[in-house]
């Protein structure tokens, strides 16, 4: 083991914090030999010291004063593993202002305050690392920052929320409803107590904002992300996908529009061809497909959350921090950790009329003559071209039926206006459900 001791403080000792402590402790000797430095956790902050933990820890290391851990002059690397955007922000800000290295897994914090936190780091010589904030155990941030540094990205698409992917996979494989699986997922601890963060796409949108900064240098406002979750997906959507060679996935996409070069950031349920690299990624797994102009498409698949996967990513940041402390340049900078951001801060956000896709629309309609003609007339008035119409055969006396249409290429604006118009028809019984059909072309 090397002579130099690197002291780590953990703010948070929950799922991730305990994993980081456990793996750092188990691999301390090996890491010491590899890095020439002894990494040791010297302080741990929690909310409630009396809480029983899964991982054993010397109680002398534990405090309820997390702010003091963030600012402790004897700590080299502060890991913020608490979550939230209140106290976590204060700790990270103070640590960066003191010129420290901060490692965080907190995508909500980065989405809301990443820009100012990085500015604070820059101003005071601190460093902010966040590999675990996107796609858990998949080293996608390192891939974008380092392995793909020479590339411009035409698009990045990802399955970034394992809970949604788990629910959609079980809906597909077992024919169960969204509500039934959500209940089980909560009981098994897969979904948050407040499931909205997962199923409404908010968590994936936080991650998309972080990826957009890394890939393009632009901090997108959360409100600028085109966002829908999976709560409206039902078995009709799943069966349609199955019958037509698609899978329903919650897809986070970053896309440069071809002509205007505007940036489109979205998290939407989508029909993904099964033959596509993301179409067969099932269960709690995450996956990301990145199109670079030099390398072409690269795809990353792996566990996106959980104690071990997330710890793996946090520890990779800790190890990079150790390298920085040992080998950092004269001003304490280290190009791969503090790259000059890509030059995209002025990129415009794409408007709905610039975004092109094929679309799937499901609606419940009266089963009577003339309804299809009304629908076709609305599509024609919006210049949306029909690709297919599917209506399940029903008995003679059925009054309502489900009608599914798919369109040829059109714009997001045209499909939104079409769906609004359709929703106003007396024969259409509730607002139609729509999702893009994603081919992920370059």
Contact residues: ligand NAP, CB under 6 A: 12-17, 45-48, 51, 66, 81-83, 87, 105-107, 132, 136, 305-306, 310
User: How, if at all, do strands 285-292 and 296-303 pair?
Assistant: antiparallel
Q: Which is nearer to ligand NAP, 111 or 355 (CB)?
A: 111
Helix 87-97 and helix 107-124, axial crossing angle in degrees, nearest 10:
20
CB 63 → ligand NAP: shortest distance, Å?
9
CB 306 → ligand NAP: shortest distance, Å?
5
CB within 8 Å of 201: residues ≥ 6 apart: 161, 164, 227, 228, 229, 230, 250, 267, 268
Residue 178 tokens read as: 């969204």
In 3D space, the residue among 140, 170, 177 whose CA is nearest the CA of residue 157 turns out to be: 140
Give the SS3 label for residue 178: helix
Distance in angstroms (rounded) separating the CA atoms of residues 309 and 3? 29
CB 20 → ligand NAP: shortest distance, Å?
9
DSSP string, 369-437: TTHHHHHHHHHHHTTPPEEEEEE----TT--EEEEEEEESSEEHHHHHHHHHHHHHSTTB-SPPEEEEE
CB 194 → ligand NAP: shortest distance, Å?
12
Q: Which is nearer to ligand NAP, 68 or 172 (CB)?
A: 68
User: How, if at all, do strands 226-227 and 77-80 pair?
Assistant: unpaired
Name the residues annotated as catalytic: 207
In 3D space, the residue among 12, 434, 34 whose CA is nearest the CA of residue 248 turns out to be: 434
CB 280 → ligand NAP: shortest distance, Å?
23
Report the residue closest to ligand NAP, judged by CB.
14
129 burial (CB, 10 Å; 0-12 / 13-18 / 19+) is: buried
For 206-330, strand residue ranges (E) read 226-227, 246-256, 263-273, 285-292, 296-303
Residue 154 tokens read as: 């035409």
Contact 131, 310 (CB under 8 A): no
Q: Is the dihedral of CA 106, 109, 110, 114 positive or negative?
A: negative
């Amino acid at each position: 083991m090397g002579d130099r001791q690197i002291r780590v403080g953990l703010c948070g000792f929950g799922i991730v914090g305990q994993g980081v402590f456990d793996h750092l402790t188990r691999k301390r000797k090996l890491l010491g030999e590899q890095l020439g430095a002894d990494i040791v956790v010297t302080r741990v902050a929690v909310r409630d010291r009396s809480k029983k933990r899964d991982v054993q820890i010397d109680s002398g290391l534990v405090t309820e004063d997390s702010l003091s851990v963030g600012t402790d002059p004897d700590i080299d690397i502060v890991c913020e593993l608490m979550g939230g955007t209140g106290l976590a922000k204060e700790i990270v800000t103070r640590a960066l202002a003191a010129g420290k290295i901060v490692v965080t897994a907190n995508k909500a914090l980065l989405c809301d305050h990443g820009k100012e936190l990085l500015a604070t780091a820059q101003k005071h010589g601190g460093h902010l690392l966040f590999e675990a904030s996107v796609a858990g155990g998949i080293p996608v941030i390192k891939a974008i920052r380092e392995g793909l540094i020479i590339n411009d990205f035409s698009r990045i698409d990802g399955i970034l929320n394992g809970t949604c992917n788990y629910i959609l996979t079980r809906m597909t494989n077992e024919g169960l409803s969204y509500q039934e699986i959500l209940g089980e997922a909560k009981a098994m601890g897969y979904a948050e107590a407040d499931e909205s963060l997962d199923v409404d796409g908010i968590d994936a949108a936080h991650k998309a904002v972080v990826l957009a900064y890394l890939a393009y240098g632009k901090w997108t406002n959360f409100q600028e992300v085109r966002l829908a979750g999976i709560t409206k997906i039902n078995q009709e959507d799943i069966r349609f996908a199955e019958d037509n060679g698609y899978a329903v996935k919650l897809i986070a996409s970053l896309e440069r529009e071809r002509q205007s070069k505007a940036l489109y950031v979205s998290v939407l349920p989508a029909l993904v061809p099964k033959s596509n690299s993301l179409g067969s990624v099932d269960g709690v797994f995450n996956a990301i497909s990145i199109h670079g102009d030099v390398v072409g498409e690269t795809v990353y698949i792996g566990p996106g959350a959980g104690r071990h996967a997330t710890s793996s990513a946090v520890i990779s940041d800790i190890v990079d921090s150790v390298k920085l402390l040992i080998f950092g340049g004269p001003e304490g900078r280290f190009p791969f950790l503090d790259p000059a951001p890509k030059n995209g801060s002025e990129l415009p956000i794409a408007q709905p009329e610039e975004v092109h896709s094929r679309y799937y629309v499901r609606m419940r309609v009266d089963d009577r003559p003339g309804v299809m003609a009304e629908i076709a007339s609305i599509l024609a008035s919006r210049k949306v071209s029909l690709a297919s119409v599917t209506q399940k055969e029903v008995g003679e006396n059925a009054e309502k039926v489900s009608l599914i249409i798919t369109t040829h290429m059109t714009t997001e604006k045209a499909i939104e206006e079409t769906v609004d118009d359709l929703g106003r028809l007396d024969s259409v019984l509730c607002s139609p459900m729509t999702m893009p059909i994603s081919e992920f072309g370059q």
